[in-house]
Amino acid sequence: MNNIPRHVAIVMDGNGRWAQKRGLSRSAGHRAGVETIRNVLKTCKKLGIEVLTLFAFSTENWKRPKSEVDGLMALLVEYLKKETKELNESNVRLKIIGDISKLPMHIQQEIHNSTQLTKDNDGIVLNLAINYGGRAEILRAVKKIANDVCLGKISQQQINEELFSKYLYTHDLPDPDLIIRPSGEYRISNFLLYQMAYSELWFSKIMWPDFSSRVLLRAIKDYQKRDRRFGAV
Ligand code: FPP
């Protein structure tokens, strides 16, 4: 318990293949994936992890069939409607990273309600990446910085890594210590590109709906064996 990662970030991958193998629809796989979120969040809370970031919808996921995109959006709304009260009662702060202005208005409203209600909680941050892409996030920061330079709010000389981080969606969070990707894919897929400079990576063949607290504990035990040198010797 004395070397718990502060921030764990997960690419929730494998829902579709999990469902296919069982003769179910892809949406049923995503629904099963939401159950995993509940279990993993509970375990993270118990361990005292400060931030759990989950990749729920990428800027590239719009390329999926409309029925699947609509299904994912409906699941998100259902989750927020059902769980916000409990999240709030257990002191969870819900945060969203990504461009939610591209989501239907009623979903933006639901997100706003949930994040507003939980904004002062000081327990674990449940950080959902929705319509998120690492490159888009970096470009957004560059544009904001350029704008602030033009307005004279900051000077070009002031631009350094620390300042840059302040322009990212994650300005109020520590960088991820551990990034987990299940489902046997060994890619980062545009997730937290700037923030992951020194993250430890952990991969597993398990599909997200089968990802249990036991698997999370295995990942954390492996993480605890890593020698993080941050470029030093
Ligand atoms: C990747 O699996 C998963 C996603 C693109 C969506 C993940 C979203 C959820 C689990 C639910 C979102 C809702 C909430 C409440 C945050 P895949 O479909 O790419 O799986 P495959 O690679 O096996 O096809």
Tens digit of pLDDT at every position of the chain (233 positions): 889 999 999 999 999 999 999 999 999 999 999 999 999 999 999 999 999 999 999 999 999 999 999 999 999 999 999 999 999 999 999 999 999 999 999 999 999 999 999 999 999 999 999 999 999 999 999 999 999 999 999 999 999 999 999 999 999 999 999 999 999 999 999 999 999 999 999 999 999 999 999 999 999 999 999 999 999 98
Per-residue confidence (pLDDT) for residue 188, from 0 to 100 = 97
Per-residue confidence (pLDDT) for residue 160, from 0 to 100 = 98
Going from N- to C-terminal start, the domains of the chain cover 7-132+176-224
Assess whether 13 carries a catalytic annotation: yes
Per-residue confidence (pLDDT) for residue 25, from 0 to 100 = 95
Q: How many C-beta atoms surround the C-beta of residue 138 within 10 A? A: 15
- Which phi and psi angles does 8 have, rounded to 5°? -110, 130
Choosing from 37, 63, 72 the residue with most ligand 1 atoms within 8 A of its CB, the one to mutate for a pocket test is: 72
Per-residue confidence (pLDDT) for residue 221, from 0 to 100 = 97
pTM above 0.85, yes or no: yes
Q: Give me the amino acid identity at 189.
A: S
Sheet strands side by side (includes 93-97): 93-97, 125-132, 51-58, 7-11, 178-181, 200-203
Residue 152 Cα to ligand 1 midpoint, Å, equals 42
- Per-residue CA distances from 191 to 11, 33, 100 (Å): 8, 18, 16
Per-residue confidence (pLDDT) for residue 222, from 0 to 100 = 98
Q: How many C-beta atoms surround the C-beta of residue 93 within 10 A? A: 20
- Measured between alpha carbons, how far is 69 from 27 in angstroms, rounded to an integer? 9
Q: Is the CB of 181 under 6 A from ligand 1?
A: no
Q: Which CATH class is domain 7-132+176-224?
A: alpha beta
Assess whether 3 carries a catalytic annotation: no
Residue 166 Cα to ligand 1 midpoint, Å, equals 29
- Measured between alpha carbons, how far is 229 from 29 in angstroms, rounded to an integer? 38
Per-residue confidence (pLDDT) for residue 55, from 0 to 100 = 98
Q: Give me the amino acid identity at 13.
A: D
- Choose the catalytic residue: 61, 99, 121, 210: 61
Per-residue confidence (pLDDT) for residue 233, from 0 to 100 = 87
